[in-house]
Amino acid sequence: MYKYWFAFLLLIIISLKTDSKSIKKETIVGKVVAITDGDTFKLLTKDSTLIKVRLADIDCPERKQPFSKRAKQFASDAVFSKTVTLNVLKKDRYRRYISHVIYDDSLSLSHELIKNGLAWHYRKYSNDSLLQALEDEARTNKVGLWQDQNAIAPWVWRDLQKKKSKE
């Protein structure tokens, strides 16, 4: 019973959240046909359009970073070959649909990744207090990547990689 109330509350919070930088919001339903990494996948819409989706508000470990494969596997187990609902916030410069993704009728993929310690709340682009609370709980309980005392956020890791390539 608690699980259903929590899921219902999450859906309400997601639907009420507004983003002043967003373009016209839309909802898209489609089937997940490929998983790129923990926070990016390809979706085939009902009209056979293939779109690239990037999860909003979170950032999963990059390839070659610890827990990257686990994040990708988690996303695959959760949504691959399933019909999901995208609540699109905007398109980014790479033409990816930045979206909240709902699967299995009520689960948020972003929330599930954070709860399982497989992603960071991307506070630079999000002030979602629920995501932050989920991350704080995962950190406290040393779930997933939080087992590593020196876990490096993906945006920091990307910056370090850029600096290395310039040397």
Q: What is the DSSP string of 94-133?
A: T--EEEEEEETTTEEHHHHHHHTT--EE-TTT---HHHHH
Name the catalytic one among 62, 137, 139, 158: 62
Q: Measuring CA to CA, how many Å separate 118 from each of 20, 23, 55, 74, 110? A: 28, 28, 13, 8, 10
139 annotated active-site: no
| Cβ neighbours around 9 below 10 Å, total | 11
Name the catalytic one among 70, 93, 96, 137: 96
95 annotated active-site: no
User: How far, in Å, CA of 25 to CA of 99, rounded?
Assistant: 10
70 annotated active-site: no
Which residues does the annotation mark as catalytic? 54, 62, 96
